[in-house]
Structure 1
Amino acid sequence: MKKLLMTSLVCSSVLFAANSEYKYEVTPMISGAITEGNLDLDRNYANAGISLGFNLDDSMFDQIELGILRTLDDVDYKNSNQDTAVTRVFTNVIKEYSLNAKSSLYALAGLGVEVYDNEQFGNETGPFANYGFGYKYKLDNDMAIKADVRHLVSFDNGNNNLLYTVGLAIPFGKKAAPAPIMKEEPKPVVIEEPKKVEEPKVLDSDNDGVIDSLDQCPDTMRGANVDKNGCIVMLDLEVHFPIDSSIIDEKYKHRIKEFAEFLNKHPKLKATIEGHTDYTGTEKYNLWLSKRRANSAFEALKKYDVDPARLKTIGYGETRPKATNKTKEGRAQNRRIEATVSK
């Protein structure tokens, strides 16, 4: 029996490789025993054994332990030339209490049977209960060193034994990885996209930033600044001029026509045509030139049947630049006309 235990200790260390995800844990261990003084046995003797742990999920306990310990040498009876070997088979439930990533305390409790090869002086084979406390330290290879103290109490006569054990816990039985069932699920999610048809209430037909359900002026011209009701407040006519010119180029006539049609469609609206320049020239001259540019737009709108009484002109000269005057491109943007619309 002694040779079998020692062989188990060696073989288990070789056969079971460390795994971070496992179902089971085998622990070769050595133990010392301190007997109660009235048992007529040596007070201290050594044991060796092995335990198998079943790791639990969804339970108040973390592990169930099944184990066996047997004396390394026969234990002498006091005042006698007789001796005996002692074998203990036990099962315990174990609860761990983590201290940090590597260390934990644990408590255990359970039942077992102790077998005396030579029953003498009231030392008889029978059941016992035990409880204990231990410390577990995880190594980098997922194995762990375990040490604990266990108090054994015999059912038959109430005799007490104290065991202290040290073991090397080796995990095995890798848990199955979850099947990749989710990979085909994105397709049904994409099918939900037809729900976008239900979004007419958030449409913005004239792209003025106010949705149709709130837009009181649903046909606002492109590029216009609108109020919270979607009605035009300011419009960049996107008409630009060469340096020192107030003549509207043919390529901008369509924009003037578009604005005229908008005004004719909304006869209650009035417009102030604003002229602007870059900072080329004197301030006085630029003011005069900006008024001429506003008047050019005024005359062009009249040709498209806009009532002159609904139009005003004003020139701001170089005082309201839209872009920087330090570049050629910026100055070109500043030579422009805009319109402010009101009721």
Structure 2
Amino acid sequence: MKHKMFFSALIVLTVSLLTAGSALAENRAGAFTLSPMAGGYLFEGDQNIEHKNRLNFGLGLGYNITENWGVEAVFNYIDSAKQKTAAGNNEFDGFLYRLEALYHFLPENALVPYIAVGGGTLDLNPEMGHHDDTYGASYGVGVKYFVSESVALRLDARHFIGFDQSVDEGHSTNNNLLYTGGLTFLIGGHKAPPAPRDSDGDGVTDDLDRCPSTPKGIAVDASGCPIDSDGDGVPDYLDKCPDTPKGVAVNSMGCEQDSDGDGVVDSKDKCPGTPKGVAVDASGCPLDSDGDGVADHLDKCPNTPKGAPVDINGCPLDSDGDGVYDYLDKCPGTPKGVTVDEKGCPISFTLQVEFDFNKADVRPIYHNNLKEAADFIRKYPAQQILVAGHTDSRGADKYNQELSQRRAENVRKYLIGKFGISADKLVAKGYGETQPIATNDTDAGRQKNRRVEVICCTVIPK
């Protein structure tokens, strides 16, 4: 139970460390500290002490060597308790004397967490007349919250480890927990310098303010001078023409001339620098009669239909390079080299030639079909035609791959030899049993899978 409470205190103090905020108060170097405290003292379970959680009162006297490091001597009085011994119950008071070194984190903040390490003596003073002194080490954590420059609220948790218990207690160490809350008063020390003054109330301190007489309510930059958003030399609160383009000459009100002479002053000119003599609209931008985003004086295709995407010259785009403008292209993104019709869509022709089981010879019943394929290729010349061979699933994978390649090669040779199709247009590729178009569980399905496909027009897979 004691350890759970101790670790709970650690968690609380860790959260305090992570959420600490800034304040003018701080842990001053050179200051003496006086800390009245009160809390509880938990005895080890096997010390035979009734009501182990006892009330305690403490007083600490310390000195801050630096903002981070300090030392503190603490006296704690532990309220009377009873201890069971062989001779009976002894009633006693406890006195704990500690000397600790403290290290403070974030000493310039209002919330200052710290850790403590030290040692001391626990004196249990039975009424029977003898003292039971225990020497030990202490360590723990704490946090101070400064409510003013010299007063802070304080929470502490310490683990006291006693090393010299009597032999008849059956062990050599006891682990006790001390937890307290109280106040810390700082006396003397080096106080934080006074806050810098801001005479004109613009949010920039006098030592950094390059424009110390800025009128009230005027937005200023980091140097305390009125903001000049458009950089024309006239501050915003006097500028009658904000958003003046950089570098344009202006008058005392911040308004510029018509630099490009297009009839629109620079403060309203959305297109400064328009060439002389070019017709412009009310915003000073060159006219774009066909609305394609290219001004008339640069447009090489001035009558482009509305909404058609164009290049820098104002001419319709042909993104896929198939010879059909994008706004007319019904099949955008056609691969390079694919033959298309007037709508930009690929022209396709697929012929399937089936084969007998374990055969690669072209069956005569497909000669007329292959003639149709040759006629189509002549009418719509393409860069390459795919001749794809396939098998059913019977047989080894390697053998089926070789058989499908032979089937594709035989169809390719037939088209070249019989119809004079250019050899470089026909690419034979075997796919084995990897691309069935029907089930391989029936004779009819396997027959359909024993095939060669003449596919025009397509991009040949690598």
Q: Which bin holds the TM-score, normalised by the shorter protein?
A: 0.3 to 0.5
Q: Which has the higher strand share?
A: 1
TM-score, normalised to structure 2, is: 0.31
TM-score, normalised to structure 1, is: 0.41
Answer 1 or 2: higher relative contact order, Cα 8 Å, separation at least 6. 1
